[in-house]
Amino acid sequence: MDEQTPSALTQLPSWLLTQSAAQAHRIVTESFAAGGARAYHFRLLATLVEFGPASQAELGRRSSIDRSDVVAALNELEAEGYVERSPDPADGRRNIITITTAGKRHQRRLTNLVGKAQEEIFAPLSATDRNKLSTILGKLLTYHQE
């Protein structure tokens, strides 16, 4: 930590968390940019791989992306041939998004990029510490989402 930062801040877990999150965000963003992608692309493709075809609204909910950002990211993914939109047979006003074979390959590439970013972010931590941190952060997130 910077020696110029007041200890009143560096002793606050919330301050440490936000500062660490900013660094993590920068590293992940740079990783995806090097692969010609954005974090939203990874989140949407990972959601489609795990849960299958879905409406745009459902994708937004499952990946925690705002509806307007979902549309923009899906437009980019569709332009690259990574997803396809088709009318929902149950409701013609909705689109169902399906990942393509190229999209699955791209998602695997993005998974590798995010894995490398995780290694960079958490390099000073042992595997045990990483697991503990993930457990603690998961508890915090669950508590504040309820």
Sketch the domain layout of the chain as residue ranges: 36-145
Domain with residues 36-145, CATH architecture: Orthogonal Bundle (1.10)
29: Cβ contacts below 8 Å, ≥ 6 apart: 38, 39
Task: Encode pLDDT of 15-65 as tens digits.
Answer: 999 999 999 999 999 999 998 899 999 999 999 999 999 999 999 999 999
- Taking alpha carbons only, the member of 87, 115, 83 closest to residue 102 is 83
Strand, helix or coil at 29? helix
pLDDT tens digits, one per residue of 72-87: 999 999 999 999 999 9
Count Cβ neighbours within 10 Å for each residue of 81-105 and write b for 16 or more, e otherwise.
ebbeeeeeeeeeeebbbebbeebee
Helix (H, G, I), strand (E, B) or coil at 46: helix
In this prediction, residue 1 has a pLDDT band, given cuts at 50, 70 and 90, of low
- What's the DSSP call for residue 103? H
Task: Write down the pTM of the prediction.
Answer: 0.87
Cβ atoms within 10 Å, residue 121: 18
Between CA 65 and CA 27 the distance in angstroms is: 20
What mean pLDDT do residues 116-137 have? 96
The predicted pLDDT at position 89 comes to 87
What pLDDT was estimated at residue 100?
98
* Contact (CB, 8 A) for 81 and 102: yes
Per-residue pLDDT at 146 = 85
- The sign of the torsion formed by the CA atoms of 86, 44, 26, 109 equals negative
